[in-house]
Every structure is written in structure tokens, then in C-alpha cells.
Homo-oligomer: A and B are copies of this chain.
Amino acid sequence: MEKKAIIVGAGLVGSLWAVLLARRGYSIDVYEMRDDPRKAGFIGGRSINLAMSTRGWKALEKAGIENKIREVAIPMKGRMMHDEAGELAFQPYGKEGQAIYSVSRGGLNIELIRIADQYDNLRFHFSQKCLGLSLDDNTVYFEDTRAGERSSAQAPLIFGTDGAFSAVRRSLMKQPRFNYSQQYLEYGYKELHIPPGPDGRHPLDKNALHIWPRGQFMMIALPNVDGSFTGTLFLPFEGSPNSFEHLQTDEQVTAFFHRHFPDSIPLIPGLLEDFRANPTSALATIRCLPWCHQDKVLLIGDASHAIVPFYGQGMNSGFEDCSLLDGLMDTHQDNWSTIIEIFNQDRPKDANAIADLALRNFVEMRDRVADPRFLLRKEIEAYLHEKYPEDFLPLYSQVTFSHIPYSQALAEGLAQDELFDRILAIEGIEENWKANVELGEVFRQWLREREG
């Protein structure tokens, strides 16, 4: 087969995947609906900052740009919880030295496009909106969003990396027996800008992901390299008094922030302007199956598995798709029939697992992180991991700091829930738990049951 492919979508996953294929000598044409971000600038305003973690770094390493991105990534070592009185509590994500990294989506995307564009065998075509595919003859149709003229392109391999609203997926959906689901949260989000402090420095601890957990809703903030933070408010669209529906006037917004996030008010001088100007965006989980059409078309990243942002794994899981496919090419070379079959067989269960975990983590972030018993669990988890490194790796670490398949991590996490139901039921566990004999007994009993 000719080593030639079309990639539809030059977002994070599309441009990374382009690099990985170009490195192997494939002739690549990448089509992107938006204008070239290197010239047009990156359109922001609706994108939560990215939290790069182990799975993402691995893919960047394969693409040879890990170090370059590390220079502009800000480590976040844990969560900093802000209560209504402005009191802070810190909860580390992992062991000493472990962190997730705040990265700018636009900056990372531009960097990936630059790297990709250095390959002679790779061509970018911007401002090209995909209109659909003709699956019989491997043709993709485009419309130039500026000039309006239409064109088409053909290749033996077509990759759909065109995100949650994928046009490539829309063509696959017309095939018989295509499974598809889109489920929206009843929550929306709005970005709020936290500028640098008067000294140009970060106005909050920059090495933490800040959370204002309020039970049914929350605000978060992630650091940017310029000293600012990007804040994001997550709130029900309607129904509750604490919903976007009831934040229509400046007075309502002000009263809401005074009541629930008083310590954030001095941090967001443009609160009312941001609130009016920035859109209220929706959050969806998208699943489908198959991810492919025969051995010709394959969906990667959000195009086949868009998830909510609460585990920070959207980009990481898309990048892991690329790593896994790259690994399959190591084993099966250019045998795409086999590569696509294996990938479509093995990967969707992991995508489903991280979709479920991300939904579950929303409850954790907005509600449980404010619960002393949850924080106690996190402390005991860290302790058990330190004491029994071979036998216990907390779920969060499995997802964030390992390459364990997501589906395995989810199963493990459910077993860990059961363990902590027992541990937290131990009488007096709150006090001096390190000296509690029962803790070790319960843990070892749980281990035995799992091995048995």
C-alpha cells in the first residue's frame, strides 16, 4: 500500500499524529477548518487550560518535543481548596516530585504544527472545512471557508482527528449498525480571567490547581506562564438558584460571588465584563463504535471519545491513542488492516472507562474535596502507597501518573472504594490512624481477597 494518508483536523491530536506518521515517511495531507493559527493567532475563550500528565508526555516524547513543552509548562503539585471564608487546604496529587502540568492549548497546538511543518512529506491545508467522505472511493470533500470553492482529496488511509463534532464521524454514522451516543451534562462553564498581580507575578500559588468546591457547583483556576490564571466557573444551566439562569444581571453575579467566592473577587477585576462577554459553554460525553470503516478510515481523540474535562484526561487520552497506534506500527509496520482491527478492538473500552471516570471526578472536585473524610482517605491512600508500593497505587495515580489501561484503573478504583468503605468504618480511624492496628489488618485482608 502506498504510504499516504489524509488527516482531517489539525488540533492537538491531529497535528501530533501528523508528526508521528511523517517521521515514518508517510506522505501526509492535513486539512483544518480553522485558519492557520501561526498567522491568525489561536482563538481562545472557550477552552479550559490543559493539564498534561504522564500519558501526554509520553506521546510528546515520541514526537521529540517533550523538552520544548516542559519549558513552558507549569507544574501543579496538588489541589488547593478555597472555602467560603477564604481558608486554604492543600492536597497533593501524588508522591513528592509528581505533578500535572498546566499548558496553554493554543501554544501547544502552534508548537505541534511548527514541528509537523518541518517535514517535506507533510502539507497543511488550512481554512478547509470537511463536508464529508465518500467511503467507497476514499475521498474526502472540502470547502474553503474563505474563497468558498470546493475540492476533494483521496488517500488509502484517512484519519478523523476533527474533534467532538467530527465531520468524519458524521460520515461513518451513515454506515449500518453504527453505535453512537452524545450525552450533555446539565452544567455549563464560563471562563473568567485572573490577571497577574501588581508585581506581575501569579496572585495565587502557581504550583497548584485551585478549586472552590461548593457542593453542586465549583470554580477552578489554572496558572498561565504570563503570571495570570484562567478561572472557570462550572454551574448548572438552570433549575437551581445557583445556576446560570439566575445570573442574568450584574447585581446577581456580584451577589453570587460575594456569597460563594468572596476571596476570588479581588482576583477577577473584569468579572462583570467577562461574565457578559464570555459564552456559557456546554459539556458533552461522546461515544461511538466502531471507530473505523474497514481498514481505510479511523477516528482518533475527541472524534471518537470526547469526555468532560474533570480528570484532565481529554488531551492525554487522545495523545495516548497516538502512542498506542505508533506502538502498533512498531509491531505491524504498515499493515493497517491489522493495526486498525486491534486498535478498534482494544481501545474503546479504555475510552469508555476514562469517560466514566471523568464524570465521576466532577462530583469529587465540586463536592467531595471539601469533605474531611475524603481528605483523610487521600492521606491514607498516600500512606498505603508509600508503605506497600507494590500492592497499592491510588486510582488517581493510576490514571494520571501511569500507563495502566484506563479500564483496568477504573476496575481497580472500584475495588479501592470497597477497601475505603471498610477502612473509614474503623472506629476512631480519624485519630492517629497511622498507629491504628486495624488499618493494616483490613488492608491485608482486602489484598488476600483480591489475590484469592
Contacts and interface: CB of A to CB of B under 8 A. Distances in A.
Interface of A: 176-184, 237, 282, 284
Contact of A181 (B177, B182, B282, B284): B182
A125 to B, nearest CB: 27
A282 B178 CA distance: 11
- Is the contact region of chain A dominated by helix, strand, or loop, or is it mixed? strand
Contact of A179 (B176, B177, B179, B184): B184
A183 B176 contact: no
A176 B164 CA distance: 14
Nearest to A186: B177
Contacts of A182: 178-181
A284 B183 CA distance: 18
Contacts of A181: 180-183
14 contacts: A176-B282, A177-B184, A177-B284, A178-B182, A178-B184, A179-B182, A179-B183, A179-B184, A180-B180, A180-B181, A180-B182, A181-B181, A181-B182, A181-B183
A38 to B, nearest CB: 31
A205 B284 CA distance: 52
Which 7 A/B pairs are nearest by Cβ-Cβ distance?
Answer: A181-B181, A177-B184, A177-B282, A179-B183, A180-B182, A179-B184, A176-B282
A384 to B, nearest CB: 34
Contacts of A178: 182, 184
Nearest to A237: B177
A181 B183 CA distance: 8
Contacts of A184: 177-179
A286 to B, nearest CB: 10
Given A177-B184, A177-B282, 4 more contacts: A177-B237, A177-B284, A178-B182, A181-B181
